[in-house]
Amino acid sequence: MRAFQVAAFDAPPQVETIDAPSPDAGEVLLEIAACGINFADLLMATGRYQDTPPPPFTLGMEVCGTVIAHGEGVTTPAIGTRVAVFGGQGGLAERGVFPADLCRAVPATMDDATAAGFMVAYGTSHLALTRRARLQPGETLLVLGAAGGVGLTAVEIGKAMGARVIAVARGADKLAVAKAAGADHLIDSDAEDIKSAVKALGGADVVYDPVGGAAFTAALGACNREARVIVIGFASGDVPQIPANILLVKNITVIGFYWGGYLKFDAAALTDSLAELMDWHAAGRLTPHISHILPLDQASEALELVRSRKSTGKVVVTP
């Protein structure tokens, strides 16, 4: 089978022909229909992600596919079931093996590409805003990187939770995407001072930050008293240092959030969150946005779209 593999951290990943895997005990073998691309794939390709396996390995954290074989002890999901699963790796391939107990049946109302790009982006924003930040109706949510894979879902989920949403993104085209997702106010980070613009809108009660760097610093300066700042990631490449005096004076809480980490200590939190999100999607409350769908031969281009921030919402590869 063909797979997009990392052979070494100092060489770019590429499509290779490798032996097709067989499922071990507790696993299923999937015929993969689609794989969602995440910023973490970029980090993993160079060995900079917190859960990077040793090379060689296949990139691709989240997939949608059909169960075609069971490992020992597995009876569900049944052969022929279309499922979505977050496996952490192995998704950018024609076939892959994944833990059976992490697979979730995909409703008929959700196509393959949507299912493949749904779990990480929506799961991250939902659990971060509900469990960690405890966002309340009527509060002001400031979303940085608001047109990106997770940022756009934070806009949509924050609006669904009753918040007033301020979206920060680069340029009119990306801001238009955030507005379509429900943003109440738009800030162009290429043309406006984030701190001044947010303060002029009354400040932020919750900040959702997948960007880091100067945007984090500006957002922190625009926080209201008792604000909560959720650290999602560092797409800017700059991990900010937090001035503790500002936290003290304004009673601000900075919250770390790593969605995949829940698999190790509270997988039920992910399961429950995704079940609620699937219900929201079926009810028409969520409208996932995919800007690019590419074949496996263009997996490098898919990663570059995310790296260069030329995509909006999700990028999906179809093996």
Query: Do 10 and 76 sit in the same domain of this protein?
Result: yes
Q: What is the pLDDT of residue 259?
A: 93
CATH of the domain at 164: 3.40.50.720
State the alpha helices, DSSP H only, in the chain. 39-45, 112-116, 119-127, 149-160, 172-180, 194-200, 213-221, 244-250, 262-265, 267-282, 299-307
> Model pTM?
0.90
Residue 265 within any structural domain of the chain: no
Identify the domain containing residue 79 by its residue range: 2-118+288-318
Q: What does pLDDT average to in each consecutive run of 10 residues of the chain (319 residues)?
A: 97 96 97 96 94 95 98 97 95 97 91 96 97 98 96 97 97 96 97 97 98 97 98 93 95 96 88 90 93 98 95 95
Domain membership of residue 282 (yes or no) is no
Residue 299 maps to which CATH number? 3.90.180.10
Residue type, 195: K
Q: What is the pLDDT of residue 268?
A: 86
pLDDT at 263: 85
Neighbours of 274 (CB within 10 A): 19
3-class state of residue 69 by DSSP: strand
Q: What is the pLDDT of residue 155?
A: 98
Residues 84 and 103 in one domain: yes
Helices (H), ranges, 65-193:
112-116, 119-127, 149-160, 172-180
What is the total count of domains within the chain?
2
Decide which of 214, 242, 260 is a domain's last residue. Answer: 260
Query: Which backbone phi and psi does 294 adopt, to 5 degrees?
Result: -125, 155
Reported residue count of the chain is 319
CA-based end-to-end distance of the chain = 10
Same domain for 92 and 153, yes or no, is no
